[in-house]
Structure 1
Amino acid sequence: MDTVSAVRNRILVLCEKNNITINKLANISGLSPSSLKSILYGKSKNPKIETIKIICDGLGITLGEFFSSPEFDNLEQSIK
């Protein structure tokens, strides 16, 4: 799994856990739905940490909580 896929999966898991839709997450985070969907559908190949922080704020979690998950623990090393 690559980093962009891990970010996507993590957002989807957190939405499911909190029983919210992607549009609701965009709304409570103050992001446009198209910005969030560009991350989720792979158009954004390198989402900014600031954008992820805004998503975390909307979910009421820290960046540490966002990245503390198996998706990120099991990423392959990018530099070989």
Structure 2
Amino acid sequence: MTVCEAVRQRLNDLCRERDITTNALSLDAGVPQSTVKSIMNGESKNPGIVTLKKLCDSFGITLGQFFSSEIFDTLEQEIQ
């Protein structure tokens, strides 16, 4: 699993846990729907930290809490 896939999975998990759609998330976070859609569809290869911070704020969690998940602990280094 890549970092981008892990970010996408974590966002999906948080949306499911809170029973919100990605459209509702984008509206609440003030992030364009196209940006959230790009992340969720795997089209964005490098979601920016500012965008992730806005999404985390919408979830009511910190960036630390976002990345403090087992899904990130098992990632291997990506070689480009």
TM-score by length of 1: 0.94
Where structure 2 has 5 or more consecutive residues not aligned to the other structure, the ranges are: none
Identity of aligned residues (%): 52
- Measure the CA separation in 2 of the matches of 1:70 and 1:21: 23
1:1-80 alignment, distance < 5 Å: 1-79=1-79
Per the alignment, in what secondary structure is the counterpart of residue 61 of structure 2? coil
SS of 1:27's partner is: helix
Structure 1 residue 32: Cα displacement: 1.2
User: Alignment RMSD, CA only?
Assistant: 0.8
How far is 1:78 from its partner? Answer: 2.1
Q: Secondary structure at the match of 1:53?
A: helix
Give 4+ residue runs of structure 1 displaced > 4 Å after superposition. none
If the length of structure 2 is used for normalisation, what is the TM-score? 0.94
